[in-house]
Chains A and B, each alone.
Chain A
């Protein structure tokens, strides 16, 4: 893709996002229309249930899909919503007989459902913020089990708080909603909120954290805050969904919102595709229809002359089998990893011509100097870095070399805050980077880095990978789009902007990581083995790009690599490490002639010969054969 075409990417992305929202809504509307007009009253009843399920599952997806953590705790929010809305809207007379011991401040409000919903969502917000403090700290499976703990807590409280909930007895007298239009509008609003959030700054942050928490942290995204926002929005929505569910049931007990319902909702989300709103909608439709079809068989039915026995729980078995089949055959769900609808590079959107101007190269970085002094780090007795000091000023490429296990990557991790140093500082001016939280390092435009092992956000497109990095520096969306285009074209990634990172070839992924770091406009860029695994032509191309960017933007680059030819070509000053210590520093020529360096790389026996060889062939780069590769 040429640059002009890339320049239309932001507007095409926006159009694609609208189309994807429309696609989700269209699927829902079509299903509802078929049910209501094709199947009479039964169809309408199913459609009402389906719409309420859409609100619940879309709420669930806002957290699970964007953070990658499956939650069983949303039944807790639904319980809160259903009981609270029930109490607030119940007629006063009925309330006196059903709940004689209700605390006075809750009693006799007789609100309409619409006026109750804001109060219900406030309550949901409060519960979500309160619980999110814990859930957002945890990751993966631990978080899932904690959400299960939340469900059990709320369930047991609902059973115990008899004055408010009638305990495990049926809670009745809740005004019923049977109007398809009301629930349809509600589900449309839920879909719009979920879609907006997913494509927003915070949705992108949450998805970046989902794909690689460490890399997101280095970009200045706070994983905890990203998860907390997802949880809070999702929990608030689920509380309202619970209220709606309560109103279509009319009478319920705590068991109505327990594992049975939670299981059904999780199945719907997974069957459709957990990562997308469209998947949630498709999953709800598919599973609701399946449930209804099976439910008819449950009481024993005659199929082709054979009478089936009465099987209690047949729907549960069907749900279980459905989810097993989907996971075995199509692990990403029916819709797959992407949203339903076209991507930004689809041909439908080719004609959109509105361009965004790529950002100008950032103003040459003002003079700064990254000064590492006396840095040390041990891991359980292994001294990985011992008292290393060096400088990396702007406007210069500084090489950092050393054999495997020399402590180079540890040193980088110390400077960018992945590890805390045992001793020593990494300063820019008066600021000690090791004491600064990661997002401050980014906001102040100090340091960005790439990783030795690729750490892209696999589920995000190449464009989004860079965009999320630009957004994390705190700029507006428009500026972030412009900066993204600048970096993508600088690294020749325009034609794959719409592809997901996991599908990119290796060389492109390596370049994308550097583009992502540069989009943060750092004064100092740390490149941890950018050329590892590249072939000579790719390495050469990369060297050209790095050289040009360093010169044009006056940034300082700290280049870490095994490939001595590569480092020698680019760097004007080289620091050599071995076994955790700095063993040499100087110009490439000085380092090349250093006996200690040669010994570290080649070994003692050949030291003299190699040194002789190096001094007699000044124009040749440092030997790169054997152990050096």
Chain B
């Protein structure tokens, strides 16, 4: 029972990170049809933001805020520099562009900061445990679950209650129509990138807090999982992305905990295989995005 609860907390914590990254990808994809391969670099940049802030002597909480801000700025800069010129290009061109941006940024991180992981030391209390009903529960996973849930519910609130949120949901359905109604396209796109950057920043904070270091490819692996999550949930569907993120996280933690030792090196392959098996049954994903086209 103890083990199971522990694993559920781990799964929620990891799944939450994937869900935030996947949601960021899905928001941008649904509005500009861009599968942003450089999303991982936004997260990595957030990590470096924390590192640099700490190196300049900021207190931990302030450093985390700087990290989130850095991710946000990176997302906006990316949109302005690389993707605005490509507005309306086909999915392939956009995807390749982001792939190129991602590769270039990785090299810049390697040369500009360090090819090796740089350490970030948070207060020891952050990695401690606390007692609940006689069980030891980690502080970091608990905080990360709380942060994830807060971020996701705040975002839901923004999307449902504010006018820019409604514009974004409308843009996800039919961007061209929204433009014709007189909503400023640049603003909606910029806000969608900002939201995805913000989520990536929060993910970076949780990720670095749990691992204690940053390296040039830090964002790469979680974002790969987030890609899989968006496809699993149904590409372009926001709720699907969140669901997909949690499913991938759950699968990963379960395989980690319960696979026999001989098979455990094949964990990634097994998780991805399971996702592909789900796609065989549901090619459009778990919660497919609507499609309003007619013949």
Judge whether A313 and B111 touch: CB under 8 Å. yes
Residues of A308-353 at the interface with B, using a CB-CB cut-off of 8 Å, are 311-314, 316-317, 319-321, 323-324, 327-328, 331
Interface 1/0 per residue, A110-154 and B, CB below 8 Å: 000000000000000000000001100110111011101100110
Select one of B86, B111, B231, B279 contacting A327, CB under 8 A: B86
User: Which one of B125-133, B194-202, B266-274 is at the interface?
Assistant: B266-274
For B264, the closest partner residue in chain A by CB is A160
CA distance A453 to B295 in the complex (A): 6
Residues of B62-120 at the interface with A, using a CB-CB cut-off of 8 Å, are 82, 85-86, 89-93, 95-97, 99-101, 103-104, 106-108, 110-111, 115
Select one of A153, A263, A270, A328 contacting B273, CB under 8 A: A153
Judge whether B92 and A317 touch: CB under 8 Å. no
Judge whether B104 and A157 touch: CB under 8 Å. no
Which residues in B have some Cβ–Cβ distance to A below 8 Å?
A: 29, 33, 35, 82, 85-86, 89-93, 95-97, 99-101, 103-104, 106-108, 110-111, 115, 224, 227-228, 230-231, 235, 265-269, 272-273, 275-276, 279-280, 283, 285, 294-295
Judge whether B93 and A149 touch: CB under 8 Å. no
Contacts of A156 in B (CB 8 A): 265-269
Judge whether A409 and B295 touch: CB under 8 Å. yes
Contacts of A214 in B (CB 8 A): 295
Select one of B96, B231, B273 contacting A323, CB under 8 A: B96
Judge whether B86 and A70 touch: CB under 8 Å. no
A266 at the interface (CB under 8 A from B): yes
Judge whether B231 and A146 touch: CB under 8 Å. yes
A365 at the interface (CB under 8 A from B): no
Judge whether A145 and B231 touch: CB under 8 Å. yes
For B280, the closest partner residue in chain A by CB is A134
Judge whether A152 and B272 touch: CB under 8 Å. yes
Nearest Cβ distance between residue A467 and chain B, in whole angstroms? Answer: 22
A91 at the interface (CB under 8 A from B): no
A451 at the interface (CB under 8 A from B): yes
Contacts of B279 in A (CB 8 A): 134, 137-138, 142, 146
If A133-B280, A313-B110, A317-B104 touch, whether A160 touches B266 (CB-CB below 8 Å) is: yes
How many interface contacts (CB-CB < 8 Å) are there between A and B? 124
For A419, the closest partner residue in chain B by CB is B295
Judge whether A313 and B91 touch: CB under 8 Å. no
If A327-B86, A413-B295 touch, whether A145 touches B230 (CB-CB below 8 Å) is: yes
If A148-B224, A152-B268, A327-B93 touch, whether A266 touches B85 (CB-CB below 8 Å) is: no
CA distance A270 to B100 in the complex (A): 12
Judge whether B100 and A320 touch: CB under 8 Å. yes
If A274-B92, A328-B86 touch, whether A321 touches B269 (CB-CB below 8 Å) is: no
Judge whether A153 and B268 touch: CB under 8 Å. yes
Contacts of B111 in A (CB 8 A): 311-313
CA distance A85 to B106 in the complex (A): 33
The 9 closest A-B pairs by CB, nearest first: A160-B265, A313-B107, A320-B100, A320-B104, A156-B268, A153-B269, A323-B100, A137-B283, A145-B231
If A146-B279, A149-B272, A160-B265 touch, whether A141 touches B96 (CB-CB below 8 Å) is: no
Judge whether A266 and B96 touch: CB under 8 Å. yes
Contacts of A141 in B (CB 8 A): 29, 33, 35, 91, 95, 235
Select one of A142, A270, A317 contacting B107, CB under 8 A: A317
29 contacts across the A-B interface (CB closer than 8 A):
A68-B92, A134-B280, A137-B279, A137-B280, A138-B279, A140-B91, A145-B35, A145-B228, A145-B230, A145-B231, A145-B235, A149-B272, A149-B275, A152-B224, A156-B268, A157-B266, A160-B269, A214-B295, A266-B99, A267-B100, A270-B96, A317-B104, A320-B104, A323-B99, A323-B100, A324-B97, A324-B101, A328-B85, A331-B90
CA distance A266 to B228 in the complex (A): 20
A13 at the interface (CB under 8 A from B): no
Contacts of B269 in A (CB 8 A): 152-153, 156-157, 160
A159 at the interface (CB under 8 A from B): yes
A452 at the interface (CB under 8 A from B): yes
Select one of A149, A157, A270, A319 contacting B228, CB under 8 A: A149
Interface 1/0 per residue, A235-267 and B, CB below 8 Å: 000000000000000000000000000010011
- SS of A interface (majority): helix
Judge whether B95 and A144 touch: CB under 8 Å. yes
Nearest Cβ distance between residue B110 and chain A, in whole angstroms? Answer: 6
Contacts of A509 in B (CB 8 A): none
For B284, the closest partner residue in chain A by CB is A142
Judge whether B228 and A70 touch: CB under 8 Å. no
A539 at the interface (CB under 8 A from B): no
Judge whether A327 and B89 touch: CB under 8 Å. yes
CA distance A513 to B192 in the complex (A): 40
Nearest Cβ distance between residue B18 and chain A, in whole angstroms? Answer: 14
Contacts of B104 in A (CB 8 A): 316-317, 320-321
CA distance A152 to B227 in the complex (A): 12
Select one of A144, A160, A455 contacting B295, CB under 8 A: A455
Nearest Cβ distance between residue A287 and chain B, in whole angstroms? Answer: 13
A418 at the interface (CB under 8 A from B): yes
CA distance A237 to B267 in the complex (A): 29
CA distance A240 to B108 in the complex (A): 35
Select one of B33, B86, B273, B294 contacting A409, CB under 8 A: B294
CA distance A157 to B279 in the complex (A): 21
CA distance A314 to B103 in the complex (A): 11
If A142-B235, A455-B295 touch, whether A327 touches B107 (CB-CB below 8 Å) is: no
Contacts of A324 in B (CB 8 A): 82, 97, 100-101
Judge whether A320 and B265 touch: CB under 8 Å. no
CA distance A208 to B262 in the complex (A): 47
If A144-B35, A324-B82 touch, whether A70 touches B96 (CB-CB below 8 Å) is: yes
CA distance A149 to B276 in the complex (A): 9
Contacts of B93 in A (CB 8 A): 327, 331
Contacts of A331 in B (CB 8 A): 89-90, 93
If A266-B99, A316-B107, A452-B295 touch, whether A134 touches B230 (CB-CB below 8 Å) is: no
Judge whether A146 and B276 touch: CB under 8 Å. yes
For A143, the closest partner residue in chain B by CB is B231
CA distance A246 to B111 in the complex (A): 30
Select one of B95, B99, B272, B285 contacting A263, CB under 8 A: B99
CA distance A157 to B273 in the complex (A): 12
Contacts of A317 in B (CB 8 A): 103-104, 107-108
Nearest Cβ distance between residue A405 and chain B, in whole angstroms? Answer: 12
Contacts of A68 in B (CB 8 A): 92
Contacts of A319 in B (CB 8 A): 100, 103
For A137, the closest partner residue in chain B by CB is B283
CA distance A518 to B92 in the complex (A): 33
Judge whether A316 and B103 touch: CB under 8 Å. yes
